[in-house]
Every structure is written in structure tokens, then in C-alpha cells.
Amino acid sequence: MLPFFTLGYAIASIQGDKLDGYSPPFQKAISLAGLFYLLFGLVFLKLFLSLYNIKNSIIAFVLVIIVFGTNLLTYTVMLPSMSHVYSWGFITAFLYFIKRLFISQKIKYLYFGIFIFGIILLPIFFPVPAKWS
């Protein structure tokens, strides 16, 4: 959420809103972050499924079912500050890069996969302190 939170901070400081993380610019920025990572995950899921030579019509159907048939839309629209939609985006990216690594044997996909996996593991090694939650 950091790039979007920073955007919210910049807008709030320009507009003279409270810089407490709860004013409307922060709320809108985090909502934008949730939408961005939903789309980020959908793009990587499409790329991942394309690696298996699945028809585009079936991929489109799967993407629609994922969005409207799971709680992903709820976490994107109603609860964008929860980590579910961000995990979704990074896990789909990780799956794509690891599959590309096995297909092409190019080291750059290993590096991308390791980077994405590190982002996925960040909350485990650096959890939010209890007094912040």
C-alpha cells in the first residue's frame, strides 16, 4: 500500500487535510490500491493461464468467476486495507514468474520470482505491532 499511501499523504498535505492516515485522501488512495492490485493479479493470472495454452474465452470466464465468485471483490471494494487483495496480486505474479522460469530456464525469471516471494513473506518477518492494529 505504501506508494498509494504516500500519494494520499501528498494530496492530504496539499489540500490541508489531517495527516492522520484516516482523512478522505488516504481512504481514496487505499481504495485505489485495492483496485490496482486486483487488476495486477488478474493480469498475471491471465498470463499464467496463457502459458498452458488455454483458450482466451475460457481464461476470460475464469477471471470473471474469480472476481465475482469469490470474496476477492469484497476485499477490493469494501475492505481494501486488508491484505487479501495484495496477497492475491503477488501470489499470482509469483506463480507466473516461477512457471516462466521452468519453461524458459532464464535466470531473470528466478530473480523476479525471488523478489515477489520476498514481498509475500514480508508480513511474516515484519508483522504489524499489536498496538497498531
Choose the weakest-confidence range: 21-25, 104-108, 128-132.
128-132
DSSP 106: -
Distance of CA 89 to the CA centre of its chain: 3
**Distant-in-sequence contacts of 106-110, Cβ < 8 A, 24+ apart:** none
Would you place residue 118 in the very low, low, confident or very high pLDDT band (cuts 50, 70, 90)? very high
Share of the chain above pLDDT 70, in %: 97
Distance of CA 99 to the CA centre of its chain: 19
Given a cut of 70, whether residue 72 has pLDDT beyond it is yes
Given a cut of 70, whether residue 88 has pLDDT beyond it is yes
pLDDT tens digits along 102-111: 999 999 999 9
DSSP 5-38: HHHHHHHHHHHT---SS-SHHHHHHHHHHHHHHH
Given a cut of 70, whether residue 122 has pLDDT beyond it is yes
Q: Is 103 exposed, middle or buried (0-12, 13-18, 19+ CB in 10 A)?
A: exposed
When the pLDDT of each residue in the chain is averaged and rounded to a whole number, the result is: 94
Q: Is residue 133 within 8 Å of 111, Cβ to Cβ?
A: no
Q: Is residue 95 within 8 Å of 52, Cβ to Cβ?
A: no
Instruction: Report, as an integer, the average pLDDT of 39-60.
Output: 98
Model pLDDT, residue 130: 66
Would you place residue 132 in the very low, low, confident or very high pLDDT band (cuts 50, 70, 90)? low
